[in-house]
Structure 1
Amino acid sequence: MTTTDLRVDEGYAPATGGVRAYWRSLGEGGTPLVALHGGFGVVEAWGGLLEQLAAHRRVVAVEPQGHGRTADVDRPFSWDALADDVAAVVAHLGLGPVDLLGYSLGGGVALRTAIRHPGAVRRLVLVSAPCRRDGWFPEVLAGMAEVGSAGFEGMRQTPMYAAYAAVAPDVDAFPALMDKTGDLLRGDYDWTEEVRGLTAPVQLVYADADGIPPSHAADFYALLGGGLRDAGWDGSGRSASRLAVLPGRTHYDVAAAPELASVVEAFLA
């Protein structure tokens, strides 16, 4: 199936706090997969991954508050509010329970969605996202400390800003997006105990040169019941959750890894 063969729909869904979230749907059938991109991203930031995943199912990409085509509202960013927005979109479109895929900041939102709205999520895929703020390398945390509108002139020269400017309803809102994102990233969080209580199986995916050390990936996987014992010759002791480390990738290009689609598809199947 080629991209032009896929059914494509789009629109806006009422979320919470006055947000009207933009969504784009590709493909048909199967359990719907809702995809959440990283910070400052737009739907197009997924590259060809969504088309690959939509070959045999419906994939719905959502742009959260203040990102891309979704206009900002007078509300700070919080993990829980953004998660509640996702659940509202799922309910409005009549999709649930869905499979949920999130990358980086979108991974944090996806995780909070599964925690706060377990009935809306069948399976969860997290790409390059920790379950505690201190799961990031110290140099990444130092970079997060500097995220804000003071760095707008530098960001304005990037492809990320160009993609935003091409679709945003208010191009001048990007500095505010930087400030709100910075405030979110600087806030402390530790979702360890809530992760232990997840009922949905989880696929964790990291790069081997990620912004998150392999030790945190192993800790996160252990919270999900993975990597705690030998699975046995027949695999009967294996956790329902999975861990994948993609070689030769970093936090910034892991979502473009050609093997990611097959890893996701195998888990969701």
Structure 2
Amino acid sequence: MSTIETSGSYAKVNGLEMYYEVHGQGKPLLLLPGAVSGVNTAFGNLIPLLATDRQVIALEFQGYGHTADIPERPLSYEQFADDVIDLLHMLNIREADIFGYSTGAGVALQIAMRQPALVSKLILASVTFNSSGRHPELIGLEALLTTEGMKGTPYEAEYLNTAPRPQDWPRHLEKVTAFNKRMQEWSADDIRKIKAPALIIAGDADIVRLEHVVELYKLLGGGSMGELSMPDSQLAILPGTMHTTLTKKTNLLMAMIPGFL
């Protein structure tokens, strides 16, 4: 994991002191991290590359990294989306491209469904829109979301080095576990109504089922024969790639993201 030079700020959003960073100049590209990631573990390798010709805005959700938790408020896709929407309004950003990874990709979908005018293009890396899209073996990985299971990982180190209350790490992992156990059932009709072109990315050894990824691609306008009608949305399956390494595959990602955007 590379370490990026941060230029962080805090915004008062829905009772949060939400942390965000701004890198580069140009059209806004919003980065939304996932799982137990903060900005650096999710996008540390990519930000210097993406920020060469874009204004990259990377943030951390409630309880993640620099953004302190609200103990009585559960974690949810809907609340995360509300927080991000309010941050964009506060920053006077009327439209942006959004790159979401894992949980962040689900949040990006929520924003596109609820506030379509805010979204120009979507990059959705390792995303589900209902619980059936999760790999059946994922339960084994989620069992490791304990202080012992995460001991010595980059995620633990990032949290302990950035969180306002590092001692909240065990409680944060409990809240993430509860969040992951919530059923996710988003309407295919609502997904189909999204008009923003999407680049959908997954690893070939990811935590999402590849059949589910293809289903989402079709719901977002993909699947036609290009010689007759080239779809606006695109699909990429990265070879030899598991979930936790996806955003570190910079050579593969930078071969497709700039052209899509």
Q: Could you say whether these structures have the same fold, taking a TM-score greater than 0.5 normalized by the shorter chain as the test?
A: yes
1:54 aligns with 2:45: no
Is the partner of 1:240 in helix, strand or coil? coil
Q: Determine the structure 1 residue equivalent to 2:257.
A: 264
Q: Determine the structure 1 residue equivalent to 2:135.
A: 137
What is the root-mean-square deviation of aligned Cα atoms in Å? 1.9
> How many pairs are equivalent?
255
Q: Determine the structure 2 residue equivalent to 1:23.
A: 20
Write the distance in 2 (CA, Å) between the matches of 1:25 and 1:123: 19
Is the partner of 2:73 in helix, strand or coil? coil
1:86 aligns with 2:69: no
Q: Determine the structure 1 residue equivalent to 2:10.
A: 12
Q: Deviations over 1:175-224 (max 9, x none)?
A: 22112111111111122221111111111001111112221111111111
Amino acid at match of 1:82: F
Residue 130 (structure 1) shift: 1.4
Residue 112 (structure 1) shift: 1.1
Q: TM-score, normalised by structure 1?
A: 0.89
Q: TM-score, normalised by structure 2?
A: 0.92
1:158 aligns with 2:153: yes
* Mapped contact 1:147–1:179 kept (Cα < 8 A): no
Amino acid at match of 1:238: M
Q: Determine the structure 2 residue equivalent to 1:43.
A: 39
Structure 1 segments unaligned to the other structure (5+ residues)? none
* Mapped contact 1:147–1:182 kept (Cα < 8 A): no
1:247 aligns with 2:239: yes
* Mapped contact 1:27–1:54 kept (Cα < 8 A): yes
Which among 106, 120, 127 is matched to residue 122 of structure 1?
A: 120
* Mapped contact 1:125–1:203 kept (Cα < 8 A): yes
Which among 91, 105, 114 is matched to residue 103 of structure 2?
A: 105
Q: Deviations over 1:114-146 (max 9, x none)?
A: 1122121111111011121110111114544x3
Is the partner of 1:25 in helix, strand or coil? strand
* Mapped contact 2:144–2:150 kept (Cα < 8 A): no
Is the partner of 1:155 in helix, strand or coil? coil
Amino acid at match of 2:52: A
* Mapped contact 1:23–1:63 kept (Cα < 8 A): yes
Write the distance in 2 (CA, Å) between the matches of 1:212 and 1:62: 24
Write the distance in 2 (CA, Å) between the matches of 1:57 and 1:47: 16
Residue 9 (structure 1) shift: 3.6
Q: How does 1:211-230 map to 2 (within 5 A)?
A: 211-227=207-223, 229-230=224-225
Write the distance in 2 (CA, Å) between the matches of 1:81 and 1:122: 21
* Mapped contact 1:33–1:98 kept (Cα < 8 A): yes
Is the partner of 2:201 in helix, strand or coil? strand
Write the distance in 2 (CA, Å) between the matches of 1:132 and 1:190: 4
Identical positions, percent: 35
Q: Determine the structure 2 residue equivalent to 1:70.
A: 67
Structure 2 segments unaligned to the other structure (5+ residues)? none
Is the partner of 1:174 in helix, strand or coil? helix
Which among 203, 210, 215 is matched to residue 207 of structure 1?
A: 203
Write the distance in 2 (CA, Å) between the matches of 1:184 and 1:164: 18
* Mapped contact 2:81–2:108 kept (Cα < 8 A): yes
Q: Deviations over 1:126-169 (max 9, x none)?
A: 1011121110111114544x366xx2233233221011101110
Q: Deviations over 1:3-50 (max 9, x none)?
A: 99x9x642111222x012100010012x20010111211111112201
Q: Determine the structure 1 residue equivalent to 2:190.
A: 194
Is the partner of 2:189 in helix, strand or coil? helix
Is the partner of 2:121 in helix, strand or coil? strand
